[in-house]
Amino acid sequence: MRLNELEAAFKERKEHSPRSADELLDYCQHQYMSGNLEVNSYRQLFQKLTEKGAHSSHEQELEEV
C-alpha cells in the first residue's frame, strides 16, 4: 500500500482527511494490528510517515510511564 492509498482509506473510513501525520500513523498502526496491512507495507508507511514528522501515540504512552 502506498501513502496516498492509506490516506484515501482513512478518508473513506473516517469521512474526513487526516488532521496530522500522527493521526495517519495511528490509523496505519491500527490497520496493521487488525491484520489489514502486510508487514512490508506497514514498515514502508511507518518510515514515510516518521520522515514527515509523525510520532506514534504508542511511543508517547511509553515515555509517560
Give the predicted TM-score (pTM) of the model: 0.86
Residues 20-63 pLDDT 10s:
999 999 999 999 999 999 999 999 999 999 999 999 887 655 45
What is the C-alpha to C-alpha distance for residues 63 and 4, in angstroms, rounded to an integer? Answer: 30
What string of H, E and C letters represents the secondary structure of the chain? CCHHHHHHHHHHHHCCCCCCHHHHHHHHHHHHHCCCCCHHHHHHHHHHHHHCCCCCHHHHHHHHC
**Residue-range domain boundaries for the chain:** 3-64
Asked if residues 46 and 28 have their Cβ atoms less than 8 Å apart, the reply is yes
